[in-house]
């Protein structure tokens, strides 16, 4: 695999996964960091929908943690949503079936908590042969040290550390298109 193939996202190979950004879990988060997280995930959701990149939401123990934030769900209204009890998304047979059925190999990762559900998902995705692109500015934990440790661990698995704007512009590839004109406004 070339360096370009490993690090560049391709819209026909990518999916976007939003892990457990749920109402009751969000209450426990730093509100400034949460605001940035939801803004960045929103940008990625709008971009994915516009560019035809499949989207999935996961929800950990909905009875206890509530649903995904409505402002995020509304940005990709037709997206799949998988409830899970396992911390890793890969612990959901329905999620894995969806992911494999897309035929795509690049998984853009967002969500919370970085050191629990996000980390375990990335480890299992990498183990299953998927490329994980970790949007560092679109994942969070309650504690920054836990976030930092998980980012380091995921990078060691071979996950590609990235950020919201890098994801957007890799998927766009070129300036001057109608898609570029529409989506680049999201990061101004």
Q: Label residue 67 left, alpha or beta by phi (over 0 means left) and psi (-120 to 50 means alpha).
A: beta
pLDDT of residue 173: 93
**Whole-number Å distance between alpha carbons of 114 and 154:** 10
Using DSSP bridges, classify how beta strands 131-140 and 106-112 pair: parallel, antiparallel or unpaired. Answer: parallel
Q: Which of 75, 84, 136, 137 is catalytic?
A: 84
Active site residue 26: no
Q: Check 20, 26, 89, 90 and give the catalytic one.
A: 20
Structural domains in the chain, sorted by start: 3-187 (3.40.50.850)
Q: What is the pLDDT along the chain (188 residues), one digit of tens a residue?
A: 788 888 999 999 999 999 999 999 999 999 999 999 999 999 999 999 999 999 999 999 999 999 999 999 999 999 999 999 999 999 999 999 999 999 999 999 999 999 999 999 999 999 999 999 999 999 999 999 999 999 999 999 999 999 999 999 999 999 999 989 888 888 88
Model confidence, pTM: 0.96
Q: How far apart are CA 20 and CA 117, in angstroms?
A: 8
pLDDT of residue 3: 85
Write out the E strands in the chain: 14-19, 55-60, 80-84, 106-112, 131-140, 160-162
- Bridge partners for 135 per DSSP: 162
**Active-site option among 26, 89, 90, 117:** 117
Is 137 catalytic? The answer is no
d(CA 77, CA 70): 10
- Confidence (pLDDT) at 108: 98
């Amino acid at each position: 695999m070339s360096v370009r193939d490993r690090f560049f996202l391709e819209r026909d190979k990518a999916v976007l996964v939003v892990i457990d950004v749920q109402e009751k879990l969000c209450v426990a988060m730093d509100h400034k960091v949460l605001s940035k997280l939801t803004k960045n995930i929103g940008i990625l959701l709008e971009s994915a929908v516009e560019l035809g990149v499949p989207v999935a939401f996961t929800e950990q123990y909905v009875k206890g943690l509530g649903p995904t934030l409505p402002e995020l769900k509304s940005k990709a209204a037709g997206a799949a949503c998988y409830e899970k009890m396992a911390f890793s998304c890969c612990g959901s047979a329905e999620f894995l079936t969806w992911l494999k059925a897309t035929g795509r190999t690049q998984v853009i990762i967002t969500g919370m908590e970085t050191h629990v559900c996000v980390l375990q998902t990335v480890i299992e995705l990498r183990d299953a042969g998927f490329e994980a692109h970790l949007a560092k500015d679109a994942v969070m934990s309650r504690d920054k040290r836990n976030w930092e440790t998980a980012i380091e661990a995921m990078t060691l698995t071979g996950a590609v550390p990235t950020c919201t704007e890098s994801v957007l512009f890799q998927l766009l590839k070129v300036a001057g298109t109608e898609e570029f004109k529409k989506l680049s406004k999201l990061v101004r």
